[in-house]
Homo-oligomer: A and B are copies of this chain.
């Protein structure tokens, strides 16, 4: 954790601009302010370092939290990034009990349903965001980025379905898939041809959602998940073909 040394500190007027100034500094320095666990200094310490009132700091932190850049919990601290999913414990438990075939079976039923609902409920903003995410997948040149954007795209589709419980279900499946062995399988299955196929399939899904065609969206997502299973399951030592819906 780096201590901020504000040379102009004494020159800061104690006025309503303190929150704005803190906000600017924090935006710039967030990545270096946090420790190994992503934790920012305690509010009282950070306010003293910035030479502003804790209240002003809190106003800045509230903005950053609303933007999803940090999360805060009473008694625990302030952290950069997204709040950890409550699904973590359950997903770990389930990861130990399930297998790749079962996971694909669930995805094959849940994700087309989510795409179907998204076709009726996604906003134009949602759809534009999906397209941007798929563009990022296309442009990515390392596996970490592909994983990140792929996951974000699937989550965006799930969010566009506008059903909190289904989104919770989707989060569980996502957490199970975050297991390192799972990730390794996906990476090994991903060559140039596969990548192009996935991006094209994402486009087909997004097009169907944009066209407000639930059946086409569900079918496109079903095709995508099936393709994934065909590519991944053999690497998991499994030759099962999943039953048609």
Contacts and interface: CB of A to CB of B under 8 A. Distances in A.
Interface stretch (A60-68, A70-78, A105-113): A105-113
Interface residues of A, number: 28
A173 interface: yes
Which secondary structure dominates chain A's binding surface?
helix
A165 B109 contact: no
A169 interface: yes
A2 interface: no
Contacts of A173: 165, 169
Interface string A156-199: 00000001111011001100100000000000000000000000
Nearest to A120: B243
5 contacts: A90-B172, A97-B165, A102-B165, A105-B165, A109-B109
A5 interface: no
A49 interface: no
A110 B109 CA distance: 8
Contact of A94 (B89, B99, B109, B165): B165
B172 A102 contact: no
A103 B163 CA distance: 8
A164 B102 contact: yes
Contacts of A120: 243
Contacts of A110: 109-110, 169
Given A86-B89, A90-B90, A109-B113, A103 B165 contact: yes
Interface in A103-137: 103, 105-106, 109-110, 113, 117, 120
